[in-house]
Amino acid sequence: MAILLLAAFIGVPLVEIAVFVQVGGWIGLGPTLALVVLTAVLGAWQLRAQGLATLLRARDQIDRGALPARELFDGACLLVAGALLLTPGFVTDAAGFLLFLPPVRDLLRQLLARYVRAAMETRTFVAGEEAGGAGRPGGAPGPIIDGEFRDVSEEAPPEGPPRRERLPE
């Protein structure tokens, strides 16, 4: 992961400089700088519009008692888009404008969800030992635990301090 960050911090500015030189050669210095400023202004305007809409959707979800997970992800994508658009450069602007598109955010959300599901592992421990099950690597079944239970949620609490019983070994 650290090597990817290092490559990004070195590679992105080099690519941006190369694109600046190319575009400056085609249209000149003044129009190139004006285009960079224009993309920043358009990006800020778009960020404000979509950010406000996302905030209102999140508030609506919260008012209904639902978790605004989609809106939180969209808000994070819009935050990154705004940072990319305020960074001078055509490549970062293109990436920022892509994050404004809902289908791109939906694709990223699906990819992230798939990655999280694949990386997530659930393990259950009973009496200090791992209990198996369908979710266990290899799908091997674990020990079967047999027991009886009684629902005590409706019963009145017992008088006095709680009794401590020793479980048979």
pLDDT, tens only, 74-97:
999 999 998 898 888 899 999 999
pLDDT, tens only, 22-64:
999 999 999 999 998 998 898 889 999 999 999 999 999 899 9
For the chain, the average pLDDT equals: 82
CA 97, 19, 49: angle at the middle one, nearest 5? Answer: 15
Among the listed residues 59, 60, 100, the one whose alpha carbon sits nearest the alpha carbon of residue 78? 100
CA atoms of 13 and 19, how far apart (whole Å): 10
Tokens of 54: 């996302």
Q: List the beta bridge partners of residue 140.
A: none
Contacts of 24 (CB under 8 A, 6+ apart): 32
pLDDT value of residue 155: 65
**93 and 23 in contact (C-beta within 8 Å)?**
no
CA atoms of 55 and 74, how far apart (whole Å): 10
